[in-house]
Amino acid sequence: MDVYEILDELQKKARRDEALRKRLLESRKAEEPLSEFCRICRELGYELYEMELVDAGEAFYASMRRSTNGGGENSPMLEGEDDFYELFFAGLEDPAQAR
């Protein structure tokens, strides 16, 4: 299972389980939020580590840049698209999606 699949599955679980959702959202208040988030993921059986999460977003973004206009200097800036961690939480914070 790759990082995207882990986050997708975990987000679906958190939308159905309010206690898990709150626990994940609370992880953002930790001294090291990314580390705490990944620790919770591993505790839940998902082998996810900080650098894998960061690298997955950057690799995805780089792939998108290469696919637009040949990936040159004129490629559009895709702000925020490389941060899977923040996108994960954006989906959990939306009350309409949290049900």
Per-residue pLDDT tens for 31-74? 999 999 999 999 999 999 998 888 775 555 555 555 555 555 55
Asked whether the whole model's pTM tops 0.85, one would answer no
Q: Say yes or no to pLDDT of 25 above 70.
A: yes
CB neighbours of residue 72 within 10 Å: 9
Who contacts 40 (Cβ-Cβ below 8 Å, separation ≥6)?
A: 23, 24, 27
Q: How far apart are CA 12 and CA 26, in angstroms?
A: 17
Say if residue 94 is exposed, middle or buried (CB neighbours under 10 Å; 0-12, 13-18, 19+). exposed
